[in-house]
Structure 1
Amino acid sequence: MRQAKIKTNQGSLTAVLFEEEAPITVDNFCDLAESGFYNGLRFFKHIPDILVQAGCPFNNGTGGAGYFIKTEMAGLQQEHKKGTLSMVHGTHHSNSSQFMICLDDAFVHSFDSNYTCFGLVKPSDFEVLRKLRKGDQIEHIDIEYFNANQ
């Protein structure tokens, strides 16, 4: 299994990735992270108690990685809640590099059946998650392999 260590100027977040639920999305996110695509990008959107959003190379929500991937919404972990990493798109099957992280359980269920959930921040990192705001920077994202049985 894989997890993403998202190092920001506010601290680090570790998210377990949903490889079985969203394999195309997880592979895409990991490929972009390992290539350094996200290094230096900023959270360009912050909606209090709802989400922070990043992954645009222009830091304004208008760009992506230059290609699209399929929207994946089958599976048990496709419910948005606090700490959920979800791929953002304009229309279904136009996912690329932008992602959001849900900041709370309230007000995020409207994202269900619309956006692909592909990971979940560990509760021990929610304090860092609460600090994130518009303009905060992703310093880098490390993809780590781990054994879920440990």
Structure 2
Amino acid sequence: MKKASITLAKGQVVDIELFDQDAPGTVANFEKLANQGFYNGLTFHRVVRGFVAQGGCPDGTGRGGTEKILCETANNPHLHERGVLSMAHFGTDTGSCQFFISYDKHDYLDGRHTVFGKVTSGMEHVDALKRGDMMQNVKVWDE
């Protein structure tokens, strides 16, 4: 089982369980980027209460990206509910580095975006996010 953590600029920690069995390519991409330090210093550029907190854009606008990855929605049993980590994209198979954490259940995202993890502790810190809040350190490990 893979785990991740996002340490925010003020030291708050968000712990995440990753679904590497159900979204192996997405988790591998996130792990590679995280452990290379890609996310360190990036922000949550989009925070919409009741919807999502989105981060991981290298230029902070929501338009930046890295190498594209395939969506893994076909046999993925995880749904968009409060606390899930999901891949942001501009259309099928266009995800790369941007991800979002859902604030609530959003059925219309199911089957469109790859759910690849869920917050296990620190959701109160996600709830308190403001646009522009920085990720100090993101890491992934095997447990």
Give TM class, smaller chain.
over 0.9
Could you tell me the percent identity over the aligned residues? 36
Preserved CA contact (<8 Å) 1:2 1:16: yes
TM-score, normalised on structure 2? 0.94
Matched ranges for 1:1-150 at <5 A:
1-9=1-9, 11-65=12-66, 67-105=67-105, 108-122=106-120, 124-146=121-143
Taking the aligned partners of 2:74 and 2:21, their CA distance within structure 1 comes to 10
State the one-letter code of the partner of 1:42. T
State the one-letter code of the partner of 2:51. I
Preserved CA contact (<8 Å) 1:88 1:98: yes
Q: Which moved more, 1:82-91 or 1:5-14?
A: 5-14
State the one-letter code of the partner of 1:91. G
State the one-letter code of the partner of 2:56. G
1:43 deviates by: 0.4
Taking the aligned partners of 1:55 and 1:77, their CA distance within structure 2 comes to 24
1:129 deviates by: 1.5
State the one-letter code of the partner of 1:126. M
- CA offsets, 1:55-112, max 9 Å, x none? 11001101011x111000133533001110000111101110000000123xx22111
Taking the aligned partners of 2:123 and 2:56, their CA distance within structure 1 comes to 20
Gaps of 5+ in 1: none
State the one-letter code of the partner of 2:133. D
Taking the aligned partners of 1:89 and 1:143, their CA distance within structure 2 comes to 21
Preserved CA contact (<8 Å) 1:24 1:69: yes
Segments of 4+ moved more than 3 angstroms: none
Taking the aligned partners of 2:57 and 2:17, their CA distance within structure 1 comes to 22
TM-score, normalised on structure 1? 0.90
Gaps of 5+ in 2: none
User: What secondary structure does 1:101 align onto?
Assistant: strand
User: What secondary structure does 2:117 align onto?
Assistant: strand
Taking the aligned partners of 2:35 and 2:110, their CA distance within structure 1 comes to 28
